[in-house]
């Protein structure tokens, strides 16, 4: 396949601009990242600065491979991370725009690499359980209904990639935060601190400069793990319940 890439370059000699690269020998079975590897090899051979992009597991579980491909975070294929996207999703002769996730809370570090540590700070403010939950057998001793466990698991599938923020016209982090709050709030061990958690995580989310959710649902459409916006409604419930019905002030 012949592919023309328009890649956002920023840092070093690039001020922040699209640079065009032509690749003549792209194989359909290459993953998108493998194609980027091929591009970078050719750049290194030409003694040019390779395109910086993030990746780690390359199997869709770590959430680092952030890029917006032709206007969609993680590209055109539904429920797929960039590393799991293959070139057979494109046609011979296609021109593909590759851009970093864009949001004020995700500043670009270089080229396609953005700083997503705002998510880490949200987690640090409440996305954990600090009470003693005992050993594995203690967890098994607490009855949890299968449906609830499944819902909690669906929410826990969030890999913290940030595609929801990149897709949202408001750069809101509500889908991410709601997934984290939901997965803990639905299980008995997480319920203990649910009230404080909802307020604390929303507060940090607001401080980090993410936008306000207006229920556009572009996040769910682009989420590689198909996290549902029902979680956002649950977060709203958790938050309103915590603010108005609990004595917690965070």
Partner 1 sequence: MNWFINFLGSSIGQKVIMSLTGLFLITFLAVHLTGNLQLLVNDQGEQFNIYAKFMTTNPLIKATSYLLYASILLHAVQGIVLWRKNRSARGGQGYARKVTKAVGTNSFAASNMAWLGIIIFVFLGLHLYQFWLQMKLGKVPMAEYNGEQVKNLYVLVAEAYSNPIYVAVYVFSMIVIGYHLLHGFQSAFQTLGLTHKKYTPLIKGIGWMYSIIVPLLFAIIPILMYFNIYPLSSFLH
Contact footprint for partner 1 (CB under 8 A): 6, 8, 16, 18, 68, 70-72, 97, 99, 102-105, 167, 169-172, 174, 202-203, 205-206, 209-218, 220-222, 229-230, 232-240, 243, 249
User: For ligand SF4, which residue of 83, 85, 163, 168 counts as binding (CB under 6 A)?
Assistant: 163
Residue list 186-215, contact with ligand SF4 (CB under 6 A): none
Nearer Cβ to partner 1 (37/220): 220
User: What's the angle, vertex CA 26, arms to CA 21 and CA 27, rounded to 5?
Assistant: 165
**Contact mark string toward ligand FES, 79..108, x via CB under 6 A:** --xxx-------------------------
Beta strand 72-73 with 14-23 is unpaired
The window from 52-60, 137-145, 184-192, 203-211 that contacts ligand FES (CB under 6 A) reads 52-60
d(CA 243, CA 237) in angstroms, rounded, equals: 10
Contact 199/193 with Cβ under 8 angstroms? no
d(CA 10, CA 18) in angstroms, rounded, equals: 9
Contact 69/89 with Cβ under 8 angstroms? no
Nearest to 190 by CA among 129, 242, 134: 129
3-state secondary structure of 89: helix
Residues 6+ apart with CB under 8 A from 200: 125, 126, 250
The window from 57-65, 134-142, 145-153, 173-181 that contacts ligand FES (CB under 6 A) reads 57-65
Contact call for residue 144 and ligand FES (CB under 6 A): no
d(CA 47, CA 73) in angstroms, rounded, equals: 30
**Contact mark string toward ligand SF4, 114..153, x via CB under 6 A:** ----------------------------------------
Contact call for residue 55 and ligand FES (CB under 6 A): yes
Q: 134: phi > 0 → left, psi -120 to 50 → alpha, else beta; which?
A: left
Q: Tokens 């070093």 belong to which residue?
A: 12
Q: Calculate Rg over the CA atoms of the chain.
A: 20
User: For ligand SF4, which residue of 75, 126, 127, 224 counts as binding (CB under 6 A)?
Assistant: 224
The window from 27-35, 105-113, 133-141, 221-229 that contacts ligand SF4 (CB under 6 A) reads 221-229
Residues forming beta bridges with residue 113, ordered by sequence position? 110
Among ligand FES, partner 1, ligand SF4, none, the one that 102 touches (CB under a kind-dependent 5 to 8 A) is partner 1
**Contact mark string toward ligand SF4, 74..113, x via CB under 6 A:** ----------------------------------------
Kindly list the residues in this chain that would bind ligand SF4 in the complex (CB under 6 A).
63, 158-164, 175-176, 179, 223-225, 227
């Amino acid at each position: 396949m012949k592919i023309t890439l328009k890649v956002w370059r920023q840092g070093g000699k690039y001020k922040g601009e699209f640079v065009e690269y032509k690749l003549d020998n792209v194989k359909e079975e290459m993953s998108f990242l493998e194609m980027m590897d091929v591009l970078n090899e050719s750049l290194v051979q030409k003694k040019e600065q390779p395109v910086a992009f993030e990746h780690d597991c390359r199997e869709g579980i770590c959430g680092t491979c952030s890029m917006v491909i032709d206007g969609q975070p993680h590209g055109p294929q539904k429920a797929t991370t960039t590393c799991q996207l293959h070139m057979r999703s494109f046609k011979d002769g296609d021109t593909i725009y590759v851009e970093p996730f864009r949001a004020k809370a995700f500043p670009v570090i270089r080229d396609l690499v953005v700083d997503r540590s705002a998510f880490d700070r949200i987690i640090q403010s409440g996305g954990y359980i600090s009470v003693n939950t005992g050993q594995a057998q203690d967890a098994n001793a607490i009855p949890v209904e299968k449906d609830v466990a499944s819902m909690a698991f669906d929410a826990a599938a969030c890999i913290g990639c940030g595609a929801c923020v990149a897709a949202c016209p408001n750069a809101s982090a509500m889908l991410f935060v709601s997934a984290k709050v939901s997965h803990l709030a639905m299980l008995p061990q997480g319920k203990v601190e649910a009230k404080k958690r909802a307020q604390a995580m929303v507060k940090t989310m607001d401080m980090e400069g993410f936008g306000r959710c207006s229920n556009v649902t572009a996040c769910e459409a682009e989420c590689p793990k198909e996290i549902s916006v029902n979680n956002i409604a649950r977060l709203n419930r958790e938050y309103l319940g915590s603010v108005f019905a609990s004595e917690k002030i965070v």
